[in-house]
Amino acid sequence: MNDSYSALLDAVAFDADGLVPAIVQDADTDQVLMMAYMTADTLRETLDRGQMVYWSRSRQARWVKGQTSGHTQAVEEVRLDCDGDTLLFKVRQEGGACHTGYRSCFYRRVEGNTLHTDGDKVFDPDAVYDDA
Amino acid sequence: MNDSYSALLDAVAFDADGLVPAIVQDADTDQVLMMAYMTADTLRETLDRGQMVYWSRSRQARWVKGQTSGHTQAVEEVRLDCDGDTLLFKVRQEGGACHTGYRSCFYRRVEGNTLHTDGDKVFDPDAVYDDA
């Protein structure tokens, strides 16, 4: 048992499923890249490695960001909000954060009653993921 | 029934409780100010007013941001992520986003095994909230 993160882990209010949302921001540009969820274990692993590790709610499995794609996220800064139920990470993003090939998952902007795609496509998902 | 937002509302994947998380970013500085939740109704109201309106999970009630404090958030931009389960808003924040008086709710930074407070305190909550 590693107690090196007890201050943070004691302050995090994990939800009924044992998860906490993590907002991920580009350390250079402050662009919001994605949001995903962590368990206490994947939070500890993230801090140990200095690389983002999540919990996939759809696959119910640990998810090392960039393991398949190479698009890793190195942790630069970790923040906690006032009521402890949301984390904010600043990261150095390799390639793109989004599995669709965009730099950020938030590549769709609301414009009147349309969703306008205006993100930067930085890789071809067909070339990166076997199942894409 | 207002259909002006059908493109967005059809694309949002609300969770089992009918909620979607909304990340809120300062339109000028790109600082992440807070995260809170919206129902379909408070999302519609946010778009109608051009001011952030949330759903408080703890109070199970609609929550017009700034109604008590005056610290309103005018909507500048609305984005949706790849799988439709997270919203990102850029806003013009009056005063502070956090009920504790800080500009951002993420005023605590992890530093080794401590949580270091380094946010900007922009108001005195005792002077703003009756119950603070």
DSSP labels, A62-121 = EEETTTTTS--EEEEEEEE-TTSS-EEEEEEE-S-SSTTSBSSS--EEEETTEEEE-PPB
pLDDT given for residue A132 in this prediction = 42
Which residues in chain A have their CB less than 8 angstroms from residue B110's CB?
A: 7-8, 47, 77-80
- CA quadruple B6, B9, B12, B17: dihedral, nearest 10: -150
CA-CA distances (angstroms) from residue B86 to A52, A80, A93? Answer: 19, 19, 20
Which residues in chain B have their CB less than 8 angstroms from residue A5's CB?
A: 113
The answer to whether residues A69 and A55 touch, using CB atoms and an 8 Å cutoff, is no
What is d(CA B74, CA B27) in angstroms, rounded to the nearest whole number?
10
> Chain B within 8 Å of A122 (Cβ-Cβ)?
no
Closest CA in chain B for residue A23? B23
Band (pLDDT 50/70/90 cuts) for residue A77 is very high
Band (pLDDT 50/70/90 cuts) for residue A131 is low
> Chain A within 8 Å of B21 (Cβ-Cβ)?
yes
pLDDT given for residue B55 in this prediction = 98
Is the Cβ pair A30, B31 closer than 8 Å? yes
pLDDT given for residue B129 in this prediction = 81
Encode pLDDT of A19-73 as tens digits: 999 999 999 999 999 999 999 999 999 999 999 999 999 999 999 999 999 999 9
Distance from CA of A2 to the nearest CA of B (A): 11
Please determine, for residue A9, whether its predicted confidence score (pLDDT) is greater than 80.
Answer: yes
Distance from CA of B69 to the nearest CA of A (A): 17
- Determine what percent of chain B is predicted with pLDDT higher than 70: 96
> Chain A within 8 Å of B88 (Cβ-Cβ)?
yes
Encode pLDDT of B95-110 as tens digits: 999 999 999 999 999 9
Nearest to B104 by CA among A8, A82, A89, A85: A82
Please determine, for residue A121, whether its predicted confidence score (pLDDT) is greater than 90.
Answer: yes
pLDDT given for residue B26 in this prediction = 98
What is d(CA B121, CA B107) in angstroms, rounded to the nearest whole number?
9
Chain pair A-B, CB pairs under 8 angstroms: 106
Nearest to B89 by CA among B99, B97, B79: B79
The mean per-residue pLDDT over the stretch B56-72 comes to: 96
Locate B47 and state its tokens: 């778009």
- Which residues, 6+ apart, have CB-to-CB distance to B34 below 8 Å? A81, B24, B97, B98, B104, B105, B106
What is d(CA B77, CA B27) in angstroms, rounded to the nearest whole number?
8
Please determine, for residue B19, whether its predicted confidence score (pLDDT) is greater than 50.
Answer: yes
Please determine, for residue B111, whether its predicted confidence score (pLDDT) is greater than 60.
Answer: yes
The mean per-residue pLDDT over the stretch A4-32 comes to: 97
Distance from CA of A108 to the nearest CA of B (A): 6
Q: Could you give the domains of chain A?
A: 6-95 (3.10.20.810)
Determine what percent of chain A falls in helix, strand and coil, rounding each to the nearest 5. Answer: 15, 35, 50
- Determine what percent of chain B is predicted with pLDDT higher than 90: 92
Instruction: Please give the mean pLDDT across all residues of chain B.
Output: 95
